Amino acid sequence: MDEDDRPRLRGDAATRLSAESLDSYSQHELETRIRLLEAEIARVESHRLKAAAHRQTADSLFKPRAES
């Protein structure tokens, strides 16, 4: 099985990042890393909000109607 065919482990990248030693990074490198992580957080949050809106729309379309 090729590497690309294997299922990707969810959360794996975040786990590796949190375990990495930061001792060898300069202040500039740490600031750059923070900006990149903040951008990733914003991307994930945006996706989460879109998924929540999609779910809410689907729920409203397929939810059984209450009898009057």
What pLDDT, in 10s, does the model give residues 8-43? 666 688 888 899 999 999 999 999 999 999 999 999
| Mean pLDDT, rounded, of the chain | 88
Query: Does the pTM of the predicted model rise above 0.75?
Result: no
33 close to 25: Cβ distance less than 8 angstroms: yes
Helix, strand, coil percent content, the chain, rounded in steps of 5: 70, 0, 30
Of residues 52 and 61, the one with the higher pLDDT is: 52
Cβ atoms of residues 11 and 19 within 8 Å: no
**What's CA 20's distance to the chain center, in Å?**
19
